[in-house]
Amino acid sequence: MSGPNSDYDPVEVTPLRADEVEAMRDAALDAIAGAQDLAALKQVRLEHAGDRSPLALANREIGALPPQARKEAGARVGKARGEVNKALGQRTAVLEAEHAERILVEETVDVTLPTDRVIAGARHPITTMSERIADVFVSMGWEIAEGPQVEAEWLNFDALNLGPDHPARTMQDTFWLEPAEAALVLRTHTSPVQARTMLTRKPPIYIACPGRVYRTDEIDATHSPVFHQVEGLVIDEGITMAHLKGSLDHFATSMFGDGITTRFRPSYFPFTEPSAEVDLVCFVCRGAAVNEEGDTCRTCRGEGWIEWGGCGVVNPRVLVACGVDPDTYTGFAFGMGIDRTLMFRHNVEDLRDVFEGDVRFTQPFGMEI
Ligand code: PHE
């Protein structure tokens, strides 16, 4: 067994020789000068100035030397380490400055460059039109009612006096949902909201119901399988056709301006009796049927009137089906196309433009508040 080597008294330790220390220092200085970026310099610092670097290891040997040799070696190693640290400091400063400069160049923002034009979205004109219509009725003290687009067959037809074999059912070509036993349809009109309202609340009822409806129509310039209606329903004591006429005249004037009133033409709807088609005074020729040059008005095709919707006095059979006493109450109802109203009001010639979602069409409407 060997004991501690107490008489070990080296005069010289290889790593502490002047040439060795210089070689270590030079290797460190070369590596520092060669580091091209801060990450590389970090690695160099670890290798040449870290705890396990040759100079640090050499430094540990100093203690083993006799005093004189220790002093010399200490000075040598200390000087070398000092030089390395100084070089590291200088190289760090240079690389940091370069880095900052590169970032300034790389991340420069040219504020004078023209930007891509981002088209700000606009609300869909059908939405704005529905709200405008709702406002007309709200300002008369009516309420806005809504109903589901997937509707019970009974509410879409039967409650409105359109029984299973009623010939008028074919007037409204219907999308049926599967399974057939569920008896569900995509509502063909907003009239089921009338039935829903009468079934759930007591008169007096003054409601307008804008909403989306569906029919199996082919798409063309004036038809779409998806379109929008606004339904109006009033149930109160002593309501007559005159109240209906007055309300629709007010509605027409609010939408199209002073002087644009309505006329009724006799018609048929199962849910109203009597029933009428509603026409508007042509808002282009204002009923004259000819334009300023004396030519036939193109908008109303020389009629002086434009078809707008349907209306009538609520059929007592509908009141009974919906739990309203027809001996106490009477009422009126009407239904207009919102899309049609938009087309008239803004001179839109093709209904497809309304539904295709091209921002070039919807954007100008966004300006309307
Ligand atoms: N629901 C009818 C339609 O879609 C319009 C209407 C509503 C007619 C209310 C009279 C009364 O054609």
Report whether pLDDT(242) > 80.
yes
Q: H helices within 188-337, ranges in order?
A: 192-200, 241-256, 316-321
Question: Distances in Å between the alpha carbon of 278 and those of 64, 173, 217, 348?
Answer: 114, 22, 22, 21
pTM of the predicted model, to two decimals? 0.68
pLDDT tens track for 8-56: 555 667 777 888 889 999 999 999 999 999 999 999 999 999 999 998 8
Q: How many CB atoms lie within 10 A of CB 158?
A: 16
- Looking at residue 5, what is its pLDDT? 52
> What tokens were used for 48?
């040449």
The response to whether residue 191 sits with its C-beta less than 6 Å from ligand 1 reads yes
Report whether pLDDT(251) > 60.
yes
Please return the burial class of 78, using the count of CB atoms within 10 Å of its CB with bins 0-12, 13-18 and 19+. Answer: middle
Question: What is the residue-wise DSSP string for 231-245?
Answer: EEEEEETT--HHHHH
Both 177 and 246 in a single domain? Answer: yes
**How far apart, in whole angstroms, are the C-alpha atoms of residue 105 and residue 267?**
77
Domain-ending residue, one of 63, 78, 106: 106
Question: How many domains would you assign to the chain?
Answer: 2
Q: What is the DSSP letter of 223?
A: -
Both 184 and 328 in a single domain? Answer: yes
Asked if residue 124 lies in contact with residue 242, where contact means CB atoms within 8 angstroms, the answer is no
Coil, helix or strand for 257?
coil
User: 313 CA distance to ligand 1 centroid (A)?
Assistant: 11
Indicate the pLDDT class of residue 122, thresholds 50, 70 and 90: confident
Query: Atom of ligand 1 at shortest distance to CA of 213?
Result: 4
pLDDT tens track for 149-176: 999 999 999 999 998 888 777 767 899 9
Both 222 and 249 in a single domain? Answer: yes
**How far apart, in whole angstroms, are the C-alpha atoms of residue 326 and residue 155?**
19
Both 49 and 132 in a single domain? Answer: no
Both 93 and 172 in a single domain? Answer: no
Question: What is the residue-wise DSSP string for 263-279?
Answer: EEEEEEETTEEEEEEEE
- What is the arithmetic mean of pLDDT over 266-280? 96
Report whether pLDDT(123) > 90.
no
pLDDT tens track for 328-349: 999 999 999 999 999 988 888 8
Report whether pLDDT(134) > 90.
yes
* Residue 3 within a domain: no
The response to whether residue 53 sits with its C-beta less than 6 Å from ligand 1 reads no
Average pLDDT, the chain: 90
Least confident of 100-109, 132-141, 205-214, 262-271: 100-109
Both 43 and 94 in a single domain? Answer: yes
Q: What's the CATH number where 228 sits? A: 3.30.930.10
What residues pair up with 266 in beta bridges, in sequence order?
276
Question: b vs e for 219-257, b when ≥16 Cβ sit within 10 Å of the residue's Cβ?
Answer: eeeeebeebbbbbbbbbeeebebebbbebbbbbbbbbbe
Both 263 and 315 in a single domain? Answer: yes
* Residue 254 within a domain: yes
**Domain limits at 254?**
125-365
Both 177 and 61 in a single domain? Answer: no
* Residue 179 within a domain: yes
Asked if residue 366 lies in contact with residue 124, where contact means CB atoms within 8 angstroms, the answer is no
Both 270 and 160 in a single domain? Answer: yes
Report whether pLDDT(243) > 70.
yes
The response to whether residue 276 sits with its C-beta less than 6 Å from ligand 1 reads no
The response to whether residue 331 sits with its C-beta less than 6 Å from ligand 1 reads no
* Residue 153 within a domain: yes
Domain-ending residue, one of 106, 134, 169: 106
User: 4 CA distance to ligand 1 centroid (A)?
Assistant: 113
